[in-house]
Copies of this chain bind each other. A is one copy, B any other.
Amino acid sequence: MNARTFYDLMKSTHESFTYIAGPCAVESEDQVLSTAAFLSSLGIPILRGGAFKPRTSPDTFQGMGEAGLKLLARAREETGMLVVTEAMDVDHLELVSQYADIIQIGSRNSQNFELLKRVGRIDKPVLLKRGFGNTLDEFVNSARYVSNEGNQRIILVERGIRTFEQSTRFTLDISAVPVLRERVGFPVIVDPSHPAGKARYVKPLSMAATAAGASGLMIEVHPEPSKAKSDSEQQLNFKQFEELKNEVDVILNATGRTILRFQEA
C-alpha cells in the first residue's frame, strides 16, 4: 500500500486512527532500524524521523541530511513502514521527496508560503504542522496554500502553541482538534511530544488528544532517549511507547475507532 492509498483510507474512514512514531532525528543506522523494527512489530504504519532538523541554535546538531534520508529508506525496505520526514526548504524538497512517502512541513515553516506552494505541486501526502505562533485561521490558510496548487492530501498537526505557561515546553491547544475538524475535511492529528517537553507528560496528552477526536498521534520514540542528539527529554523509550499505545488503544477500542495498521499491498 502506498502513502496516497493510505492517506485516502485515513480520510475516508471517518473513525480511523493512525499512529506515527519514530525518533526526533535520524542519528545512526542502528538507531533508526531498531526503532523501525520495534514500531512495525506493534503494527505502527508510519515511521517519523528528521534528516534535516530545524534547530533554534546553529551550534546544535542539524541532522544527517541525505545520509539520514537513506537510512529512512532502508528502514522502509526492511519493515514496509511508510516514512514521513521534514523538508525545511524548497531546495531540499526534491531530495526529500525522492525518499519520503509523506512530506512534513515543520512548525517554523508553517507560513513559508513558497514551500507550501511547492509541496502543493507534489503528488505525495503532506503533513503540515501548525506554527506555534499561528492562529487556527492562519493554519487553515496555510493548508489552502497547499491545496490550491492541487495537492489535496493534507494531514494537519496540532503541536502546541506559545503561551505564558512554562511548565510545559508549549501549550497543547487541545481545542484545535474539534475546531479544525469543523473547518476542514483533512485528518487532524496531534503531536504530544513537543508540547509536553518531558516524557512523563506525553501519555496523558496522547490520551487527551485521542479522546478529543484526533485522527492520530505523532510521537517521538528513541531507543535510548538520554543519548538522543535532540529533544532527549521528551522522547519515549520503547517500553514507554508500548505502555502509551496500550492505554490509548483502550480508549480507541471503547469509542469504536479503527486503528489503521500497515498492510502489504
A residues in contact (CB < 8 Å) with B: 54-59, 88-92, 108-109, 111-115, 117, 131-138, 141, 144-145, 148, 161-168, 171-179, 182, 195-196, 200-201, 204-205, 207-213, 247, 250-251, 253-255
Contact = CB atoms under 8 A, between A and B. Distances in A.
20 contacts: A56-B111, A56-B138, A58-B148, A90-B90, A108-B113, A133-B134, A135-B165, A136-B165, A161-B164, A162-B162, A163-B164, A165-B176, A167-B175, A174-B205, A177-B208, A178-B205, A182-B200, A207-B213, A208-B208, A254-B254
Contacts of A111: 54, 56, 108
A98 B247 CA distance: 44
Contact of A178 (B114, B148, B201): B201
A175 B201 contact: yes
A112 B89 contact: yes
A135 B212 contact: no
Contact of A92 (B59, B114, B178, B254): B114
A117 B89 CA distance: 12
A133 B114 contact: no
Nearest to A52: B114
Contacts of A109: 112
Contacts of A172: 174-175
Nearest to A92: B114
Contacts of A56: 111, 137-138, 141
Nearest to A109: B112
A175 B205 contact: yes
Q: What 4 pairs between A and B have smallest CB-CB spacing? A: A133-B133, A254-B254, A211-B211, A108-B111
A226 to B, nearest CB: 20
A58 B144 contact: yes
Nearest to A89: B114
Given A91-B114, A112-B112, A211-B211, 14 more contacts: A56-B137, A57-B141, A58-B144, A92-B114, A108-B111, A108-B112, A132-B133, A133-B164, A135-B164, A161-B164, A171-B173, A177-B208, A211-B251, A250-B255
Nearest to A253: B254
A50 B18 CA distance: 42
Of the listed residues A117, A145, A174, A175, the one surrounded by the most CB atoms of chain B closer than 10 A to its CB is A175
